[in-house]
Chain A
Amino acid sequence: MAAEQGKVDPMHQFTIEPLFGTDHWSIAGYNVAFTNSAMWMAVATVVLLIFVAGGLKRQLVPGRWQMAVESFTGFVDGLLAANVGPAGKKYVPYVFSLFMFILFANILGLLPLGIIGIHPFTFTSHFTITGILAILSFSIVLIVGFAKHKLHFFSLFIPHGTPLVMIPLIFVIELVSFMVRPFSLGLRLFVAMMAGHVLLEVLSSFVIGSANAGAGWGLVVGIPTFLLMIAIQALELLVAAIQAYVFALLTSLYINDAENLH
């Protein structure tokens, strides 16, 4: 219906478009066009850089900005200390980068910049991106696990106290659940981001459609839907933070498996 009217296509917001005529850039035959997705990665990176640089004043008595940055590093540090223990300290740069990059991407994608003609693009709503980040976390777990415990790392798949006859079955089950981790990690973020943005887009098409259908429909359908959109927007801000947190939390839990095998 909406697509027929050519007004609001809820999926259009996820379209990747090369910018600045770079669509023929390529390295070794692979296309590396600077797209709107890359643009928003750059924006997230720059905003994150400005945010962290602002907290780098290294004052003994911190200002507000420094306090904010320190609370984020302290949060990630605490997360790793709680889930991995003292060995988690060395993963703070990685988990911090992951958490903040995803958080800033999610929140920047929710900004109502469409009002001033800039269309935010949430690159975490693409499984290519979330998948790469998940594979990155998963490979760290594999590399650390096998480097630290050698083949003994396979004992991760046999919980303590498993009866001998059950070991082959449990091993297969645990192995499958382990191998599913990168998919669940990447898909969770992708789905949560995409669902929220589609929902907002669909609701906005209700508002536009009902208002176009007449003042009565606009009042009866448009205004309640708009109020619902405000509430969902607040929920989406929460989801943006929670999904970044979940990604960092699960990464630290998986790192814990690799660091402290049982």
Chain B
Amino acid sequence: MPQISQLATTYSSQIFWLVVFFGFVFFVIGRGMVPRVMATVDLRDRQIASDLAAAEAARRAANADEEAWRAEANQRRSEAQAVIAAAKAEAAKSAEARLVEAGKGVDVRMLAAEARIEQARDAALGEIETVASEATSDIVARLAGITVDEATARAAVKEALHA
């Protein structure tokens, strides 16, 4: 077993070179390079964490924006509906007013027309009376040979007409 049989002659060399090479590994690699490798890992972890936080914040901001936008849209919509309703009411009111106005005009004209019709009928009636009284006096003169004056004839006709 060389580990034992060579121990006396090789132990110093083994220890010396182990100290040299393990010392190099510890000081150059362990102390020099490993912290830098781990710093890179830490940096990346921090970066990832901050990126995640930023993404979370952005998501929250987007949600808040959407919420605000939705509230504003709702408000705008209700405002628009109020405007439409007001316009509708306004339109209905003005239409009614114009209808009333027009109705009034129609009434006035109807009254005038009715008055004219009345007048015309009265005139026509008067005409008929005159014609009838003339005809009556003619008929009487022809049939009875009596001359009746115009006033008598008219009274008789009126009486006969209104009877």
User: Shortest beta-carbon distance, B69 to chain A, in Å?
Assistant: 36
Q: A32-B16, A37-B14 are in contact. Are A93 and B30 (CB under 8 A)?
A: yes
Min CB distance B1 to A, Å, is 6
Chain B nearest CB: distance from A58 CB in Å?
Answer: 5
Q: Is the interface of A mostly helix, strand, loop or mixed?
A: helix
Contact A41 B11, beta carbon cutoff 8 Å: no
A41 surroundings in chain B (CB, below 8 A): 17-18, 20-22
The answer to whether A14 and B34 have CB atoms under 8 Å apart is no
Question: Which of A18, A60, A133 has a CB less than 8 Å from the CB of B47?
Answer: A60
Across the interface, B26 reaches (CB within 8 A) one of A62, A66, A97, namely A97
A39 to chain B, nearest CB (A): 9
Q: Are A60 and B34 touching (Cβ within 8 A)?
A: no
Are B6 and A15 within 8 A (Cβ)? yes
B33 A32 Cβ-Cβ under 8 A: no
B interface residues, tally (CB under 8 Å): 38
Q: Is the CB of A73 within 8 A of B34?
A: yes
Tally of A-B residue pairs with Cβ under 8 A?
140
Say how far B47's CB is from chain A's closest CB, in angstroms: 7
User: Across the interface, which residues of A come within 8 angstroms of B144, CB to CB?
Assistant: none
Could you list which residues of chain B lie within 8 angstroms of chain A, going by C-beta atoms? Answer: 1-3, 6-7, 9-22, 24-26, 28-31, 33-41, 43-44, 47
A-B CB contact pairs (8 Å), 18 listed? A14-B2, A16-B14, A35-B10, A37-B17, A38-B17, A38-B20, A38-B21, A41-B17, A60-B44, A69-B37, A70-B37, A73-B37, A92-B34, A93-B30, A97-B34, A101-B21, A101-B22, A129-B18
Query: B-contacting residues of A (Cβ < 8 Å)?
Result: 11-12, 14-16, 18, 26-27, 30-35, 37-38, 41-42, 44-45, 48-49, 52-53, 55-56, 58-60, 62, 66, 69-70, 73-74, 77, 92-94, 96-97, 100-101, 123, 125-129, 132-133, 136, 190, 194
* 3 shortest interchain CB distances as A-B pairs: A93-B30, A38-B17, A97-B30
